[in-house]
Amino acid sequence: MGVLTDDLISWREACQKAETRVKELEKENEILRKVDVPYSVQDALLDLVRKERVSQDEKWEEQDHVDLYWYAILGEEFGEVGRSLLEKESVDQNELIQVMAVALAWLENISSNEE
């Protein structure tokens, strides 16, 4: 085989690999589109949790507790959700955000202690 033939074979193989990769990416993109959650729902709520975390850090500064103490803090916040349900028969969204923020702070504490 000549140089041109070898180049043509190499080019053809490269094109086939590229076509295969494009098909893989299209499948991945299709999967991602199916699980995509609109910003207005999940991201907006996570933004509220982040803001609550900032407020907690400003109020309490950096917290470094043992897991049992974190459990008590989280339990207290979760109890406030229950009280809201009993008193109002509905959930106070701010209480749930505080639960999430405390859980996040606990996870942050665990991560920082692992480093």
56 and 17 co-located in one domain: no
* Tens-place pLDDT, residues 44-103: 899 999 999 999 999 999 899 999 999 999 999 999 999 989 998 888 899 999 999 999
Amino acid at 17: K
27 and 46 co-located in one domain: no
Query: How deeply is 98 buried, as exposed, middle or buried, from its count of CB atoms within 10 A (0-12, 13-18, 19+)?
Result: buried
Q: How far apart are CA 34 and CA 11, in angstroms?
A: 35
Q: Which domain holds residue 74?
A: 38-115
Tokens 């033939």 belong to 5
Give the helix ranges, DSSP H, for 1-115.
3-35, 44-60, 67-88, 93-114
Could you give the number of structural domains in the chain? 2
* Tens-place pLDDT, residues 101-111: 999 999 999 99
30 and 44 co-located in one domain: no
Distance of CA 31 to the CA centre of its chain: 18
Q: How far apart are CA 66 and CA 69, in angstroms?
A: 6
1 and 47 co-located in one domain: no
Q: What is the pTM of this model?
A: 0.65
64 and 83 co-located in one domain: yes
8 and 27 co-located in one domain: yes
Is residue 80 within 8 Å of 101, Cβ to Cβ?
no
Kindly report the number of other CB atoms within 10 A of residue 97's CB atom.
Answer: 19
Res. 35 pLDDT band, cuts 50 70 90: low
52 and 90 co-located in one domain: yes
4 and 60 co-located in one domain: no
